[in-house]
Copies of this chain bind each other. A is one copy, B any other.
Amino acid sequence: MSGPPVNTTVTRARELAEAVPPENTGPRPRPTIRNVAERAGVSKSLVSLVLRGSPHVSEHRRQAVLQAARELGYRPNAVARSLVEGRTHLVGALVADLHNPFYAQCLDGLQESLHGDGLRLLIGNSQWDPAFEDEAVEAFLELRVDGLVLLGIAPTSDTLIEATGYTPTVVVGERDIELGSVDVVVDDDQLGARLAVDHLVEFGHRRIAHIEGARSSSGRFRCEGYLVAMRRHALAPYIMVEQSECTEEGGAAAAHNLLTRDPRPTAIFAANDAVAIGVLSAAAELGLRVPDDLSVVGYDNTHLAGTQPISLTTIDQPRRAMGRSAAALLSDRIGDPGKSSRLRQVTPQLVARRSTGPARP
């Protein structure tokens, strides 16, 4: 070697970035395991042994290899490694809607846990478009991901069903998956609905309406839970259900329908936070004060619900925990595919804020 080998690591990056003239020819070719071997004066297999932490290597050579790798800025090529290993250590997560903070937080939990298992997370978002779903999954399959996580997406299309046959898969937030080899993580929507109704009943409400989220299995379960809870409190005569899209606008429209009835409900349990915020808007428009004239409960405890001006009472799903559960199931299934399907149900909790209060007759 020519130069002094002192403390090369820290300053190397900057050197590398600045050594190239402005009109450079682009990225240098990356060093391979061969270059490292050459520089260290050993065979490429030995480099592999060192980098994979084999104990059967002399300290002297190990140091030589490590230093050569450092000096060259060597990074093993995951592509080549995957090819020969037959697995990529990648997990593809397909998200129905990246903007929904609910999924974002699930992803946090997922990433956190997968990281511990040496798996990396790729994220694709379908933006609720089945064509994008298929395309994204197709991409994941071509990339040969080791596992698949579907967030808010049920495997109903042929492409997705086929994918579950090829790749270990976990579904988060959707129920009624009939495939034998797919695990499912959901929260107990029925319990969540019961918590909401109980909370309102404790405040003395009786005319408690529900806005059901259309086209989602959890929407159905929440509605089911609402009905059961209302009957349990002997409030069956006061049951009122309105359907709505899971959006602010949908919620506002549905709430308008409910609040212009006579007698109008004194409390509304909405399918999720977005819908609940729509309810708040409708109430404001009708001159109803929250919580004095109307109590509102949402579902999901999204970031929105926590902001001071909104301060929405809502049902919190332990999202990170759901992500972690999904990761655990997936790692397990990757290790031993061909297990039969499992269902993990996590427990939701009520978060009381300022949108609920005592009923005033």
Contact = CB atoms under 8 A, between A and B. Distances in A.
Which size class do A's interface residues fall under?
A: 35 or more
A308 B111 contact: no
A284 B22 CA distance: 54
A319 to B, nearest CB: 11
Contacts of A166: 27-28, 30, 73
B277 A307 contact: yes
A125 B139 contact: no
Interface string A74-85: 011111101100
A284 B303 contact: no
Interface in A197-252: 248, 252
Interface in A69-125: 73, 75-80, 82-83, 88, 98-99, 101, 104-105, 107-108, 111, 120-125
B127 A108 contact: yes
A138 interface: yes
Interface string A150-180: 0000000011011011111000000000011
A162 B16 contact: yes
A84 to B, nearest CB: 10
A181 B28 CA distance: 13
A14 interface: yes
A181 B19 CA distance: 12
A159 B73 CA distance: 10
A241 B55 CA distance: 60
Given A101-B99, A125-B107, A79 B75 contact: no
Interface in A1-34: 10, 12-14, 16-17, 20, 22-28, 30
A168 B27 contact: yes
A144 interface: yes
A22 B281 CA distance: 49
A98 B303 CA distance: 13
Given A88-B79, A105-B99, A125-B107, A280 B308 contact: yes
Q: Which 5 pairs, one residue from A and one from B, show the smallest C-beta to C-beta distance? A: A26-B337, A281-B308, A13-B162, A13-B158, A26-B338
Interface of A: 10, 12-14, 16-17, 20, 22-28, 30, 73, 75-80, 82-83, 88, 98-99, 101, 104-105, 107-108, 111, 120-125, 127, 138-139, 141-144, 158-159, 161-162, 164-168, 179-181, 248, 252, 277-278, 280-281, 284, 303-304, 307-310, 336-338, 340
18 contacts: A12-B158, A13-B162, A17-B179, A23-B338, A24-B181, A75-B142, A76-B142, A78-B142, A98-B108, A99-B104, A99-B105, A104-B104, A121-B124, A277-B308, A281-B307, A281-B309, A307-B310, A309-B310
